[in-house]
Amino acid sequence: MTDIESIRSALPQLVEEAKRQLRDATDLESFVEAERALLGKRSPLAALNATLKDLAPADRGKAGEAINEARSQLAEFAGSLRREREAESNRRRVDAERLDLSEITAGPRRAPLGFSDNAVGHLHLVNQTRDELEDTFIAMGFDVVEGPEAETDWYNFEALNMPPDHPARGMWDTLYLRLGSPETVLLRTHTSPVQVRLMESAKLPIYAVMPGRCYRRDTPDARHLPVFHQIEGLVVDEGITFGDMAGVIEAFTESFFGEGMHSRLRPSFFPFTEPSGEFEVTCPICGGGGCRTCSGSGWIELGGCGMVDPNVFEATGIDPERYSGFAFGFGIDRLAQVRTSLADMRVLLDNDIRFLSQF
């Protein structure tokens, strides 16, 4: 038979024992478990509470108060200890994830924290994709050419058949640089200005691709990045036809994506090509059968293309009576996204090693 005195005398020892168990649980997980065992429904304090009904009615209130007080004392102790444990666990996690960017290591390269010792870094998915594209075009006989990322209005727009105030400029939301120079300087919105530079300076014929970084005043979302990459293609020679363009795009598609992958063209508009097209390739995810990535169509739109507009030849000093050519351009990040089924393109900019190391 329980009496109030035995409850009163049992309490201090019970609280001390509980505190000891809490102190002994040094990691957060075992602490949370101990806390539940010592303060929860199956705790010794709860068991003691359950004996109250056996007391003389006059003692029940007082004994209940004593148990409650012991309980809140223990809960307070547990609370402050839990905050310490949580802080420690946080500190440990941050330490484990820390990358020391100021660290210089001599000798063999070290694996990032959390990776096996022989793991070394590698090119970013976008750079791997660019390299593969370059290799594919080099194998087809193309040169690789680069141009500046800060461009003048002339190269980005005007020489591409877009005089000032031409409405087609609205197709590209542009970031302008205030450099105090008489020419308007901007961050190129596409790789097409490199075409212009090449036509101005190169010897003909031209068979070249031009990869590089581009900028647009866009809010990043699942399918757009304000900083992204394109690859441009340009062929200028005597007697080049629309059929040559379709053939080159098809050959590229097969060579890059693999056998059984095809391309198709649909009419479109770009100021620097006439006629212009959009080209699509067999969806690399479903192989043309139809899936979520291609909205069931079996095709993925890759980029724009067309026959170089005679005005662009004239702006760059090439005789349009003698030469003809075609151009194309598409997004490298988009291509990487489609090929690897990334739901959200923004992961390409996060630099999270858990993502990067998958490719």
**Would you tell me which residues interact with ligand DAH (CB under 6 A)?**
190, 192, 232, 270, 273, 303-306, 327-329
At closest approach, how far in Å is the CB of 312 from ligand DAH? 10
Question: Beta strands of the chain (E only): which ranges?
Answer: 143-144, 150-152, 175-177, 185-187, 206-215, 227-237, 263-270, 273-282, 299-308, 324-331
Q: Which CB sits closer to ligand DAH, 71 or 190?
A: 190
Residue 350 Cβ vs ligand DAH, minimum distance, rounded to whole Å: 24
Q: How far is the CB of 245 from ligand DAH (least distance, A)?
A: 9
Distance set, CA 47 to CA 269, 343, 346 (Å): 80, 53, 54
Nearest-CB residue for ligand DAH: 304
Q: How far is the CB of 329 from ligand DAH (least distance, A)?
A: 3
Which of 125/209 has CB closer to ligand DAH?
Answer: 209
Nearer to ligand DAH, 77 or 269 (CB): 269
35 vs 232 by CB, closer to ligand DAH: 232
Closer CB to ligand DAH, residue 45 or residue 235?
A: 235
- Token code pair at residue 167: 């409405």
Question: What CA–CA distance (Å, rounded) separates 277 from 243?
Answer: 13
Judge residue 174's burial from the number of C-beta atoms within 10 Å of its C-beta, 0-12 exposed, 13-18 middle, 19 or more buried: middle
Q: Could you count the other beta carbons within 10 Å of the beta carbon of residue 27?
A: 11
In the complex, least distance from residue 200 CB atom to ligand DAH, rounded to whole angstroms:
16
Q: Which two three-digit tokens encode residue 309?
A: 């507009």
For ligand DAH, the closer of residues 35 and 278 by Cβ is 278
Write the CB contacts of 267 (distance below 8 Å, at least 6 apart in sequence): 275, 276, 277, 278
Distance CA 38, CA 54 (A): 23
What is the smallest separation between the CB atom of 191 and ligand DAH, expressed in angstroms? 7
Nearest-angstrom CA–CA distance, 355 and 137: 28
Interatomic CA distance for residues 281 and 288, integer angstroms = 9
